[in-house]
Amino acid sequence: MTAIQAPPSTTWQANLARLEGLAVVLAGGGLRVSVITPPGRVPSLHVVNPAAVVLAEDVYAGRGQDGRWWFWWSWAEQIAADEDLEGAAAMIQRVLATRA
């Protein structure tokens, strides 16, 4: 018997759209990005510094308690508001930067 999967919810689709927008900005800044969409789970963005692949992190999009959309680190700390793609990208780049 084949399981029938329900279509993604509008919240899931909204999360994905926000992450895809951030992915474009991050890729333009030289980071390697992969959108991850596991069945039954929220989408995420896997971000890697190609100069040091051990510097990687997963980023999520979702609503905060204030009702606004945010980008989030995997440890549930806010990165930046969803409309601030450049600010979110800059923060992620700082965290994943190699130290001299």
Residue 48 counted as domain residue = yes
pLDDT of residue 32: 97
Residue 80 counted as domain residue = yes
Residue 85 counted as domain residue = yes
Residue 32 counted as domain residue = yes
User: Model pTM?
Assistant: 0.87
Pair 59, 74: CB distance under 8 Å: yes
H or E, element range at 58 = strand 56-63
Nearest to 47 by CA among 11, 88, 14, 100: 88
Residue 61 counted as domain residue = yes
pLDDT (tens, 9 = 90+) of the chain, 100 residues, equals 555 565 678 888 999 999 999 999 999 999 999 999 988 889 999 999 999 999 999 999 999 999 999 999 999 999 999 999 999 999 999 999 987 5
Residue 69 counted as domain residue = yes
Full residue range of the structural domain in which residue 64 is found: 22-89
Sign of CA dihedral 63, 65, 71, 72: negative
Residue 28 counted as domain residue = yes
pLDDT of residue 39: 83
Q: Which of left, alpha, beta for 94 (phi over 0: left; psi -120 to 50: alpha)?
A: alpha
Counted domains in the chain = 1
